[in-house]
Amino acid sequence: MHITVIKLINDPKDTTSADGYDSQVDQLFDENGLLSQSVNSFRPRMAQTAMAKAVAQAISGRTTLIAEAGTGTGKTFAYLVPALLWGGKVILSTGTKNLQDQLFLRDIPTVRKALNVPVSVSLLKGRANYLCHFHLERTLQNGRLTSREDVGYLRDISRFAKTTTSGDKAELSRVPENAPVWNLVTSTRDTCLGAECQYYQDCFVMKARKEAQQADVVVVNHHLFFADVALKDTGVAELLPSANTIIFDEAHQLPETASLFFGETVSTFQVLELCRDILAEGLAFARDSVEWPKLVLPVERAARDLRLAFPQDSIKLALHQVAPSSPFFPALEKLNDELQAIIPVLEKQSERAETIAQCHARATELLLKLEAWQAQASGAGGQAKGDTDQGKNEHVLWIEAFSSSLQLHRTPLSIAPIFNKQREGSPRAWIFTSATLAVKNDFNHYASQMGLWDEPAQSWPSPFNYEQQGLLYVPNGMPQPNAADYTDAVVDAALPVIEASGGRAFLLCTTLRAVNRAAERIRNEFERRGLPFPLFVQGAAGRTELLDRFRASGNGVLIGSQSFWEGVDVRGEALSLVIIDKLPFSPPDDPVLAARIDALEKKGLSGFVHYQLPEAIITLKQGAGRLIRDENDRGVLMICDPRLITKPYGRRIWQSLPTFKRTRELATVLEFFNSETSINGEANNSVTEVLT
């Protein structure tokens, strides 16, 4: 067996009959196979074996496969086993850095050891994850730190630089991943000196890319993969030509991630960051030549004035929503003029230092982006025809304002033609897998988003006994979701259920405003009623820390929004209740969503039926998937939104969810939590009829 395996790895072009692959997969996943012998927790699952066969066939034929595998199927092993055996050069992309680390540190080593295969594996992250020797030295020298905490963190990072072999900031747990000091000691595409850097030979980014070039399996994440396709700045482009197999796990995230990177964004923050660096480098290397503070001041002022063109703290506007008389347009023109004025000065001073030459290149690139956006805005009215070599494609021009910065976006209406072009060239296997790709076993929405219209799609159900393990509860008497007191009504309905479950609950909200209001109400109610449940609220600490504290508490209640709807795994009794406040429809005022709906309706299709509803169902499936994570888990999924019952589309939504027993009666929920056995058939029969 091992000899055959090694032969297939060393010669990925070697072909084996379909029956041959199926037979080997059956042997590997059998109760007496290598996985059972080597992995203590492994148990054969029919769906897992079937998925592994489908992946093996796609790898063999260099074809595409869309693979939905329900929670508990074991999809990670189902794609890793054929990938390590027959995948040749494999690029494995994940939706999150957490899963990326899990695959690299745990799952791949486990499978590799079980199969006894000589596969080399590399972990590749974006450059912002790696310490930069050059920027660390500059920060130590110029001391641009604003807090005592950052000074301590910088000391830790300096010591870390002398001992680490990877430079991956994830290894330095003492310094939080989101600490501002990391921005000063890592590089960006704009601030990297490349081969001109004195530390180039020791560069952690370059080392990681070199290891990836030589590895059989490279683990990346979706942001890195698509940033490279768009920017050619992550090293993935150098890997693609030699890759035989590309696997996307958590593939439901791809449309949003690809839209982000296939578009283009330019921001006032980038301009202000450039001004900061021009001032620092100018004073360091050419103090006698230019009055650097006076040079950058007009540019900084113009960037801030552009942000102030919109007085709101946070907005998203399509270009056509900006009034022609708005101060935005003259402010954008002014910023272009001021940025253009400093470029000749930077060009003249470039010979004084490589870092000043780099600032000149950044200023030129920023100006080109601003001018391109402005030129498209002048004749586009919010939507522009693309004329790049990516093929005919329409884009949405829109503006997003934050408290201290403004972003100008150009986002494709559809990523399908762009992504299809990226998939052209040498034949290779493309595997797209997730627990949530279909809507009631219909893959059309996902396939159309990704341009995978004619590709095979298969679904394998979860092995969990959802009818015995879970209950779907839609409370009676809820107001409409747009009611002013809706979040209060959610809390009122949830409190008796939380009390019955002994805490052990997630409350998943669709907005941060709802998170804050629910947290305020629940905190007061817990105190008033003397309920001993620890409360964990998004924003009070990092996601990982909150989850660790929630698990450790054993009876906690966690309130969160989007980042807790997926990628969160709490097994066992610590989580027995998931409450969802509203059906997760995207805000209709989102400029890109509005443009996509408009485009569908111009084709005679319903934007709601063909876009908003499938998106909401896939997101809801992710949230619901937090509840049952193991064959011994039991729990209640409480969806408070009355539209699940009152709207015609409600049936399509709940039929896409796990096959829980269903009720609208609080008494049935209380009985579920009071019983150590499943709900009795009589109660189930009476309440199931309500939702059918």
How far apart (Å, rounded) are the C-alpha atoms in residues 433 and 252?
8
Q: Could you tell me what percent of the chain has a pLDDT over 90? A: 68
Q: What average pLDDT does this structure show over 482-499?
A: 96
How far apart (Å, rounded) are the C-alpha atoms in residues 305 and 174?
39
Does 606 share its domain with 478?
Answer: yes
Q: Which of 157-161, 562-566, 607-611 bottoms out in mean pLDDT, i.e. has the lowest?
A: 562-566
* pLDDT tens profile 401-412: 998 999 999 999
pLDDT category of residue 495 using cuts at 50, 70 and 90:
very high
Does 401 share its domain with 446?
Answer: no
pLDDT of 7 reads 36
Beta strands in 47-152 (DSSP E): 64-69, 90-94, 121-123
Per-residue pLDDT at 684 exceeds 50 = no
* pLDDT tens profile 365-376: 999 999 999 999
pLDDT of 19 reads 64
Residue 176 domain-assigned?
no
**CA angle (588, 537, 501) in 5-degree steps:** 100
* pLDDT tens profile 445-461: 999 999 998 999 999 99
Does 476 share its domain with 446?
Answer: no
Distance of CA 107 to the CA centre of its chain: 20
* pLDDT tens profile 244-289: 999 999 999 999 999 988 888 999 999 999 999 999 999 989 999 8
* Overall domain count for the chain: 3
Per-residue pLDDT at 4 exceeds 60 = no
pLDDT of 391 reads 39
Residue 183 domain-assigned?
no
Beta strands in 308-452 (DSSP E): 315-318, 383-385, 394-401, 406-412, 429-434
**CA angle (329, 333, 339) in 5-degree steps:** 145
Q: What is the DSSP letter of 679?
A: P
Residue 190 domain-assigned?
no
Q: What is the DSSP letter of 200?
A: G
Q: What average pLDDT does this structure show over 491-514?
A: 96
pLDDT category of residue 388 using cuts at 50, 70 and 90:
very low
Does 433 share its domain with 387?
Answer: no
Beta bridge partners of 394: 385
What is the number of other CB atoms lying within 10 angstroms of the CB of residue 258? 23
Domain residue limits at 48: 2-88+428-460
Q: What average pLDDT does this structure show over 548-565?
A: 92
Residue 590 domain-assigned?
yes
Per-residue pLDDT at 679 exceeds 50 = no
Does 392 share its domain with 273?
Answer: yes
Does 594 share its domain with 620?
Answer: yes
How far apart (Å, rounded) are the C-alpha atoms in residues 135 and 115?
43
Does 652 share its domain with 526?
Answer: yes
Residue 654 domain-assigned?
yes
Residue 528 domain-assigned?
yes
pLDDT of 232 reads 56
Does 502 share its domain with 626?
Answer: yes
Does 281 share its domain with 404?
Answer: yes
Q: What average pLDDT does this structure show over 133-162?
A: 86
State how far the alpha carbon of 169 is from the alpha carbons of 156, 179, 212, in Å. 11, 11, 18
Using DSSP's 3-state secondary structure scheme, residue 217 falls into strand
Alpha carbons within 13 A on the beta-carbon side of 304? 7
Contact present, 119 and 244 (Cβ < 8 Å): no
**Tokens 């090293």 identify what position?**
235
Per-residue pLDDT at 31 exceeds 60 = yes
- List the end-to-end C-alpha distance of the chain, in Å, as a whole number: 51
Per-residue pLDDT at 654 exceeds 80 = yes
Q: Which of 207-211, 430-434, 570-574, 596-600 has the highest mean pLDDT?
A: 430-434
pLDDT of 555 reads 94
pLDDT of 681 reads 41
Q: Which of 110-114, 151-155, 391-395, 664-668 bottoms out in mean pLDDT, i.e. has the lowest?
A: 391-395
Mean pLDDT of the chain: 88
Per-residue pLDDT at 81 exceeds 70 = yes
How far apart (Å, rounded) are the C-alpha atoms in residues 340 and 345?
10
Q: What is the pTM of this model?
A: 0.87
Residue 662 domain-assigned?
yes
Does 639 share its domain with 543?
Answer: yes
Per-residue pLDDT at 21 exceeds 90 = no
